[in-house]
Amino acid sequence: MLLTANQVKENVSTTLNDAALQRIIDGEEQEIISRFGEHASHVETFEQEIPGSLLFPKRPILTVTSIVETITYLNNFIGGSGETTTTLDATDFSVEPGGKELRRLATGTNPRSEWGQRVVVTSVPVSESAKRILALINLCKLNLAFNGLTSESVGGGEYRMDMGDYNQKREQIYSNLASAQRSYA
């Protein structure tokens, strides 16, 4: 849990009781987790038809827990094929500055200049908790602002306030949270 009701109340004015506010917070946090994954550990699988020396994770990497590489061999002359799966040693790869690239090293325990066709990386991402907390506060503010009210008129239409599109504003908050992460189609 990133935030409690009391912590949100430090940033948001609301008359909701703590239990109701905590339900909103928990729901928004679950949406963040479903879109971006748990913070503590992240598993990403790379499938490559044409292997190269670099992998580009969706989330910047702080530390690597494990890398399992699968190399597929096709031998047309003999008619056989096979696979080799190896758990790499820390000397077989490097995490480039900023954690946005993994480089396969031609030196180390299992030297290769290119990654295998299938690579499963388990890592701890760079801390995103501050960004997630800010997004969570903004989502709670938005949720409370739109709680049953999308527009109002006062004085027979002399004054009008339009809240805009809730879903569009919500997606903008998620987009801002994702902007620090690489995403590939």
Q: Give the model confidence (pLDDT) of 104-139 as tens digits.
A: 999 999 999 999 999 999 988 887 777 888 899 999
pLDDT at 166: 83
Question: Phi and psi dihedrals of 159, rounded to 5?
Answer: -125, 135
pLDDT (mean) for 81-103: 92
Range ranked top by mean pLDDT from 73-82, 98-107, 126-135: 98-107
Res. 176: pLDDT tops 90? no
- For the entire predicted model, the pTM comes to 0.54
Res. 30: pLDDT tops 60? yes
pLDDT at 151: 42
Question: Phi and psi dihedrals of 4, rounded to 5?
Answer: -105, 170
Alpha-carbon distance of 43 to 52, in angstroms, equals: 20
pLDDT at 57: 93
Of the candidates 122, 121, 123, the one whose C-alpha atom is nearest the C-alpha of residue 46 is 121
Place of tokens 């590489």: 69
Confidence of residue 156 (pLDDT cuts 50, 70, 90): low
Average per-residue pLDDT for the chain: 82
Rg (CA), the chain: 23
